[in-house]
Amino acid sequence: DQQVKQNSPSLSVQEGRISILNCDYTNSMFDYFLWYKKYPAEGPTFLISISSIKDKNEDGRFTVFLNKSAKHLSLHIVPSQPGDSAVYFCALGGSQGNLIFGKGTKLSVKP
Amino acid sequence: DTGVSQDPRHKITKRGQNVTFRCDPISEHNRLYWYRQTLGQGPEFLTYFQNEAQLEKSRLLSDRFSAERPKGSFSTLEIQRTEQGDSAMYLCASSSSTAPDTQYFGPGTRLTVL
């Protein structure tokens, strides 16, 4: 039973345009939501997070949106750069401490 | 401090052998987590420690797996009698209890069981 779904395995975007990565979840019990970026042969790198009491958090080119009623999380990257090409994971966390990850979306930003 | 470190980065072993991995967290972090990642999947939680206490274990952590954090600093993950299905990337992460939502990951240990 998959609690976190990233339905797009891959996404291709032109440099300078907006990248939108999506994530849906089934359980409303989570307290915070995170996005991680992963390059091959490296561990995931924390990007940005949002708590369940907010609906938007922005950090430079990265903005995370949370729609609790739709149980939907998205990450916007604007403008996209070739160095953003990586696999992006959404992750959900609660009071237990562990994170539950989606399967990831591979983003390719073309020059 | 340069972040979470893991050793070894790669391990190849034969089925039935025991293996042990080490994780050194960010020094001021009191929480330490172990995850496993297989191809095409996101990281899956195995267990976590707050200081030296192991507070939660996933059902993925069979009785062949054991983790320790004896002094509340580094941690080891041991797999006994390895099976081919244990082949995966084993990731360690750490966080502070005041900001548990932000977990910082190490580079991982890639285990291949032949």
Beta strands B44-50 and B53-57, pairing class = antiparallel
As a whole number, mean pLDDT of residues B42-51 equals 94
Structure tokens at B54: 């192991």
| Residue type at B28 in one-letter notation | E
pLDDT tens column, A10-32: 999 999 999 999 999 998 888 89
Task: Say which of B91, B101, B106 has its CB closest to residue A93.
Answer: B101
A71, A24 in Cβ contact below 8 A?
A: yes
**A62-71, A91-100, B46-55 — which is least confidently predicted?**
A91-100
Closest CB from A4, A43, A102 relative to B105: A43
Q: Which of B56, B13, B14 is nearest to B33 (CA)?
A: B56
With a cut of 70, say whether residue B21 has pLDDT above it.
yes
**pLDDT > 80? residue A96:** no
Picking from A43, A89, A97, the nearest residue to B107 by CB comes out as A43
Q: Looking at residue A82, what DSSP letter applies?
A: G
Asked whether the beta carbons of B47 and B67 are under 8 A apart, the reply is: yes
At B80-97, the pLDDT tens digits run 999 999 999 999 999 987
Tokens, residue B3:
């972040």
CA distance B22 to chain A (A): 15
Could you give the CA distance from residue B114 to residue B102 in angstroms, rounded to a whole number?
35
Residues of chain B in Cβ contact (below 8 Å) with chain A: 4, 6, 31, 33, 35, 40-45, 48, 50, 55-56, 58, 91, 93, 100-108
Contact B103 A99 (CB under 8 A): yes
pLDDT, residue B1, reads 54
Does A31 sit within 8 Å of B105, measured CB to CB?
A: no
Residue-wise pLDDT for A43-92, tens only, equals: 999 999 999 999 999 999 999 999 999 999 999 999 999 999 999 999 99
Q: Which residues contact A37 (CB under 8 A, 6 or more apart)?
A: A44, A45, A47, A84, A86, A87, A88, A89
